Each structure stands twice: as structure tokens, then as C-alpha cells.
């Protein structure tokens, strides 16, 4: 049995970012850039107005100005320059006419026919309400660097820079195999002594949320030959089994790994729930995880180890969940000698302070102990209890 930090270090050492592929920008959301995005041209490509109003020469603020034309967003820059005593009606996003050096908001003017006057209480200043060419980025400049995860704003910026296609790391493909003679597939009536299999549904969604593509291998009985055959045939980057990761007579994850020519890195980690976690490497550089069969333990094992590997493979330079200090609310938590304890619960903000309320159920067999969870506390090994009001470290899994 090894400590949590050592186990995660083993995973980080062996997980590698996958090669790049070029995809349409519309298919790149949530993925990690493998190559810089460079601006095709200045952004904006010309001086533009930031307001609806009038383009003028600041020196002409006094007296009536003659309107000579109007410019709307999308128009080509006017070829005729404004002369002394002239103004152009202009709209937000429209190109600034040559000769103009400022924009006056329409609220600060009065108009009569083809004449406009600027209110004396709002004298214009050179450069006001003008967004200059290249103000955001210049042509040829990198605007998004390799390693950037493409969220909504990053996708918008890439589109503004005319990056119709981008180079991103491939999505990891992760095979999920559930093992156990006691299980039947969803949709079948479970005979006496049998259970409906649930882990694959949870782990597949966790894989999707981690940016991976799950490949469901179905169920395998507690026979090492069948487990190894199903895993060996999967064309994936990561192999995950649930069940069979302990050391009982019907636990075959380690032997199946050996049948695949794999190398065992660790087997059992000093955590609760989910101590019997297996990790190793197999043929063609694949990494293999054997997770416990109990649902809460399987999900925690995925969160702590499999997700870490998937995010690294996806190119994420910061693959860990964000963590924070929170005030414990709604119950006590006991430290466990020799084991890092991960109680599930809800984090929220109360009076400007982050608080964590553990769920009433913390059994590794309780599926409902993960329902509604958006955080897990990390309680280091030791003696004694943590009481309401004490500070705890929490891993943030979702919105508060």
C-alpha cells in the first residue's frame, strides 16, 4: 500500500500528451491546443467607432457641422476624407472616415436637417470613442498558446483571428470494462443474488467530462481469460476495469494485466474509500487502471487517478482539480490512521466564506453518496475529529 501522493506521481510520470490533430474550430470546444493560434490580420483591421454618433475633427467642436455622409458597421472605409466643418453620421463598429480624429456620442449633439452641433458641455477630445487598428492584436502575433484549453472566449478569439481549423491534442479513448459474476446489464431482470450493473454509466460520463471518449466493453465474468481478451482487443489509450481489483479468490484484475504483458506499478493506495486501486502499463504504451467494484469507491478512484491521466493525455498543463480551504459545516469528520479520507459533500458560499457540508452517507457501497456532490474533502491520515467550524481542504468538482 502506497500513499496517495506517490500513487498520483506514478500516474503523472507515465501519462503522456497524445499527438495533435487538426480539426474544425467548431469541433474544438473543451480541447487543448497543441499549436499556437496566430492572428491572420490586425484586430480590429481598421480604426472603428465604439459608439453611435458623429465622426468629426476635434478642432471643429464649435459651431454647426455639415453632414456629408454616414458610415455603418460593415461598410468599407470611406474614400472621401472629412474636411474642416464637416461631420459623418457613424454607428458602432463602423470604420472611422479619414480626416476624423474622434467620435461624439449622439446624446451629446443636436441635429437639424443636414447640420449637427456638439453640446458645449461635452467638448470632444482627439481619439475619444475610437478603437484603433490592431488594438487587440497585430497580424502574425500568437493570440492563443499551445496548452490553452478552448473555452467559449478562446473559441471566439480564434474565430476573430480567422482560425477556421486548429491543432489540438487528440481525445483520449478509454475502455471501461465491468467485471463480476454478480452483475447483469441494465434492461435485464436481475435473478436472485444478482445486481444491475451501474459503474459503466457513471464512469463513462466522468470520462466525457474529462474530455475523453469512453468505449464501453460491457460485462465480463470473473474469469481472467475473458477479462484479458476483452481488454486486449480494445483499440484505446486507457484501459479501466471495475471490480476484481482486490485480492480475493474472484479478483482477477492484476492477473489480467499480466496476461496482457503489462507491468504492475502499484496495487492498493492508502485512501478511503477505494483502497484496492491497481495501476500499470500494458502493450503499446497503454495505461491500465483497476478500480474497486463498489460504486462510490470506483468513482473516487476514477476522480483521483483516471481523470488525472486523461487530462494529461488531452494536453492539459494543469490536470488537477482546483482545491480550496473551506469551513466544515453540518457534522463532524473523523481522521483515519494511515489513510487519506475523502468524504463527499456540497461546497457553497455562505456570507462570503466557502463552506463544506459532508453527506450523511459515506459508505463506499452507497451510490447515492455521490448524488448532488460538487466537492470532496481531503482529510489527511491521523487521529481525532474535525468539528463544525474547523478548516478542511476540498477538491472542487463542479459549480457551487
Question: Could you tell me the CATH number of the domain that includes residue 359?
Answer: 2.40.340.10
Domain span at residue 61 reads 48-131
pLDDT attached to residue 256: 82
**Domain end point (choices 313, 348, 367):** 313
- Which CATH number is 159's domain given? 3.90.105.10
pLDDT attached to residue 389: 97
Give a yes or no: residue 182 inside a domain. Answer: yes
How buried is 64 (Cβ within 10 angstroms: 0-12 exposed, 13-18 middle, 19+ buried)? middle
pLDDT attached to residue 34: 98
pTM for the complete prediction?
0.89
**Domain end point (choices 263, 289, 313):** 313
- Are 138 and 58 in contact by the 8 Å Cβ rule? The answer is no
pLDDT attached to residue 28: 98
183 with 291, same domain: the answer is yes
Taking the chain (400 residues) in runs of 10, the rounded mean pLDDT of each run is 97 96 98 97 96 96 93 96 97 98 96 94 94 96 96 97 97 96 91 92 97 96 90 94 66 79 92 94 90 94 98 96 96 95 96 95 83 96 96 96
271 with 360, same domain: the answer is no
β-strand pairing of 37-38 with 86-90: unpaired
pLDDT attached to residue 250: 47
139 with 127, same domain: the answer is no
- Distance in angstroms (rounded) separating the CA atoms of residues 291 and 294: 9
Give a yes or no: residue 241 inside a domain. Answer: yes
pLDDT attached to residue 331: 87
- Are 307 and 299 in contact by the 8 Å Cβ rule? The answer is no
pLDDT attached to residue 245: 60
For the chain, give the number of residues.
400
Give a yes or no: residue 37 inside a domain. Answer: yes
**Domain end point (choices 313, 333, 364):** 313
- In the DSSP assignment, the letter for residue 279 is E
Question: Is the link from the previous residue into 125 a cis peptide, with omega within 30 of 0?
Answer: no
- Are 196 and 186 in contact by the 8 Å Cβ rule? The answer is yes
- Which CATH number is 62's domain given? 2.170.190.11
pLDDT attached to residue 255: 85
pLDDT attached to residue 283: 80
210 with 298, same domain: the answer is yes
248 with 363, same domain: the answer is no
75 with 201, same domain: the answer is no
84 with 193, same domain: the answer is no
- Distance in angstroms (rounded) separating the CA atoms of residues 356 and 348: 7
How many domains, in total, are found in the chain?
4
Which phi and psi angles does 14 have, rounded to 5°?
A: -105, -15
Amino acid at each position: 500500500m502506497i500513499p496517495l501522493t506517490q500513487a498520483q506521481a506514478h500516474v503523472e510520470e507515465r501519462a503522456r500528451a497524445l499527438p495533435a490533430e487538426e480539426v474544425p474550430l467548431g469541433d474544438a470546444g473543451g480541447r487543448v491546443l497543441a499549436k499556437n493560434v496566430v492572428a491572420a490580420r490586425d484586430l480590429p483591421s481598421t480604426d472603428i467607432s465604439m459608439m453611435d454618433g458623429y465622426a468629426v475633427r476635434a478642432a471643429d467642436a464649435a459651431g454647426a457641422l455639415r453632414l456629408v455622409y454616414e458610415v455603418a458597421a460593415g461598410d468599407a472605409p470611406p474614400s472621401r476624407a472629412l474636411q474642416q466643418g464637416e461631420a459623418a453620421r457613424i454607428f458602432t463598429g463602423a470604420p472611422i472616415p479619414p480626416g476624423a480624429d474622434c467620435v461624439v456620442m449622439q446624446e451629446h449633439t443636436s441635429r437639424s436637417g443636414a447640420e449637427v452641433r456638439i453640446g458645449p458641455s461635452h467638448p470632444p477630445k482627439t481619439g475619444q470613442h475610437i478603437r484603433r487598428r490592431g488594438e487587440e492584436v497585430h497580424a502574425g502575433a500568437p493570440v492563443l498558446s499551445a496548452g490553452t484549453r478552448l473555452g467559449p472566449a478562446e473559441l471566439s478569439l480564434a474565430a476573430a483571428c480567422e482560425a477556421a481549423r486548429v491543432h489540438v491534442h487528440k481525445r483520449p479513448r478509454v475502455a471501461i470494462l465491468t467485471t463480476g459474476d454478480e452483475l447483469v446489464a441494465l434492461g435485464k431482470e436481475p435473478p436472485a443474488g444478482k445486481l444491475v450493473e451501474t459503474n459503466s454509466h457513471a464512469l463513462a460520463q466522468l470520462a466525457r467530462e474529462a474530455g475523453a471518449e469512453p468505449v464501453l466493453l460491457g460485462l465480463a465474468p470473473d474469469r481472467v481469460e475473458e477479462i484479458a481478451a476483452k481488454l486486449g482487443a480494445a483499440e484505446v489509450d486507457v484501459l479501466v476495469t471495475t471490480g476484481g481489483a482486490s485480492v480475493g479468490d474472484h479478483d482477477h484484475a492484476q492477473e489480467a494485466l499480466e496476461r496482457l504483458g503489462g507491468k504492475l506499478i502499484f496495487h492498493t493506495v492508502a485512501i478511503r474509500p477505494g483502497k484496492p486501486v491497481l495501476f500499470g502499463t500494458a502493450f503499446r504504451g497503454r495505461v491500465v487502471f483497476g478500480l474497486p467494484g463498489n460504486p462510490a469507491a470506483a468513482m473516487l478512484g476514477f476522480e483521483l487517478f483516471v481523470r488525472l491521466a486523461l487530462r494529461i493525455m488531452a494536453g492539459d498543463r494543469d490536470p488537477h482539480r482546483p482545491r480550496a480551504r473551506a469551513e466544515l459545516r453540518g457534522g463532524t469528520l473523523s481522521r483515519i490512521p494511515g489513510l487519506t479520507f475523502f468524504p463527499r459533500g456540497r461546497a457553497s458560499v455562505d456570507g462570503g466564506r466557502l463552506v463544506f457540508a459532508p453527506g450523511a452517507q459515506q459508505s463506499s457501497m452507497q451510490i447515492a453518496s455521490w448524488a448532488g456532490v460538487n466537492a470532496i474533502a481531503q482529510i489527511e491520515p491521523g487521529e481525532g475529529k474535525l468539528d463544525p467550524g474547523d478548516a478542511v481542504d476540498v477538491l472542487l468538482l463542479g459549480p457551487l
